[in-house]
Amino acid sequence: MRGGGITQNGVLCLDFGTAFAKAAYCHFDDSAHAHPIALEIGSQGHADNKFLIPSEVFIGNETLYIGARARQHLLEEDFGMRESLRSFKTILSARDLEAILESKLPPKYDPGRTLTYRAVFVLNLAYLMSLARQSIRQLYPDAYERIREFRYVFPHWVESEHDTRLRLISELFVAAFAISDQEDEDILNGALPIERVPEMLATGPGSPHLEQSRTVGAVFEPAAALFAYFPDGIPEGVDAVVSLDIGAGTTDLAGFRIDHPSSTFELIPGTCRSISVAGDALDAAVINMIVEDSRLSLTPARKKVAWKRLSAIVRELKKTLLADTFLELRFGRQDVRFKSDDLYDQVDFKSAVSEMKTAVWSVLDRIRAETRTAKHISVFVAGGGANYPFLNDLVLKTMHAGKPHAVERLRHEFPAWGNAGSEDMFLQLSTAVGGAGVGPKLVTRFHGSPV
């Protein structure tokens, strides 16, 4: 239907991400069947990957840069010790979010201390909406104006703070709607003169009627990922699923009961978990293994330089090490070879895997307590870390520990839908794609919606 008109109201889902933001759009056919598609917001934002926008804001001397522009200016110009603000999802998941949003940015981000976290979040969100609007219009020219639900995917939060957090994030969306609807070129370009920031933040709703017709919803990441891979239902014979989404900053997991014969799934109460062990922690273990290697005899100063250089390529290093079981590097005139076993022997790596295993077992125990009739439980893994080889070993150990329940890894074919193009890419996009397409039972809304 590329280029065709859309007659149904649609859904836009954003995944703020720890490292990269993603977006997906979904429309529904007359049978209420979902048709989600990953949006090429990276292309709209001139990023390296057509689907991914760096979750990054950099405050220059005169201009506030967002996304790829933020990363570019930080690398190309000398701003001393100034840093870009990253990991929006992590901050939005922090305790006492309301106080954080109202506080000024630290000097390392904003030396003049003129901007609050709220201001930066709203501008970043308006930027992502603007990129999504441009991407959707290239697919379906009239579809963006028909979007009535804006969703975002979220990690596990403390239940007692849930309503407050939903309210606060809904308010961020409302403020971002007002800015994005102006279709301002500076916002779309990700380069806003700082002197214009107060003006942009004071922007009122462009269309009160449109504002009243929009809702904001949240989808738990493991549910979104599970739907992305199994939009037509879980395979027959599976009674329950532990779904893990391994991102850059967190690993989020939950248990789902499978309803037969419909093969749909529902969240099992008390099974939501989120741990701060994910891609970033494993990246750090890889770098630490290299710089602390006794064969290199690096001085503290050289270790610092090595950390910075290795950080830029660590994902490829990790991928090579885990896939090929070895890694060869040259430091000066010295060639050094590392084995995957060297990584597995790292204390930090062992600790990360142990914490992940404990979380999986905890969810399994809860599933067994809540669904005593479940005989076949599967473990499903999504996210950028889904292909880590040690996960198979983790599931295997879980299987032996879980008798009399049968536990195995839930296998799937790469879903040739959602516009991702490759399985590696879909692993990263699955939460956004699934979040756009899930049914209303898996969407949490703030009681004040429509906004």
346 shares a domain with 209: no
Res 24: pLDDT: 95
Q: Is the pLDDT at 4 greater than 60, yes or no?
A: no
Q: 147 and 237 share a domain?
A: no
Q: Name the pTM for this structure.
A: 0.82
The CB-side HSE value for 344 (13 A sphere, CA atoms) comes to 13
At 148, the amino acid letter reads R
- Token output for 393: 């070993």
pLDDT interval class at 49 (50, 70, 90): very high
Determine, yes or no, domain membership for 40.
yes
pLDDT band per the 50, 70, 90 thresholds, residue 5: very low
Kindly state whether residue 398 falls inside one of the protein's structural domains: yes
More confident residue, 399 or 432: 432
> Do residues 35 and 97 share a domain?
yes
Asked whether residue 2 is assigned to any structural domain, the reply reads: no
CATH number at residue 39: 3.30.420
Residue 433, in any domain of the structure: no
Model confidence pLDDT, tens digit, residues 362-384 = 888 888 888 777 778 888 887 77
Query: pLDDT value at position 131?
Result: 96
> Which pLDDT value is given to residue 392?
63
Q: Are residues 215 and 248 in the same domain?
A: no
Are 250 and 101 found together in one domain? no
Q: Is residue 424 situated within a structural domain?
A: no
Same domain, 182 and 204: yes
Residues 215, 262 within the same domain: no
The backbone torsions φ and ψ at residue 21, rounded to the nearest 5 degrees and listed phi first, read -95, 145
Are residue 318 and residue 387 in the same domain, yes or no?
yes
In the chain, the number of structural domains is 2
Is pLDDT above 90 for 156?
Answer: no
In a domain, 425, yes or no: no
What average pLDDT does range 230-234 have in this prediction? Answer: 82
Q: Is 97 helix (H, G, I), strand (E, B) or coil?
A: helix
Is residue 450, in this structure, part of any structural domain at all? no
Residue 172 corresponds to which tokens in the numbers above? 């961020």
Which residues contact residue 47 at a Cβ distance below 8 angstroms, ignoring those fewer than 6 apart?
53, 54, 67, 68
Average pLDDT over residues 61-90: 82
Same domain flag for 263 and 383? yes
Claim to verify: residue 241 and residue 204 sit in the same structural domain: no
Torsion sign, CA atoms 106, 108, 112, 115? negative
Give the range of the structural domain holding residue 295, as residue numbers without chain letter.
Answer: 232-414
The pLDDT confidence band at residue 47, using thresholds 50, 70 and 90, is very high
67 and 150 housed in the same domain: yes
By the 8 A CB rule, do 69 and 190 touch?
yes
Dist CA 182 CA 186 (whole Å): 11
Same domain assignment for residues 341 and 202: no
- Specify the CATH number for the domain of residue 300: 3.30.420.40
Cα–Cα distance, 81 to 63 (Å, whole number): 17
CB 294 within 8 A of CB 301: no
Is residue 426 domain-resident? no
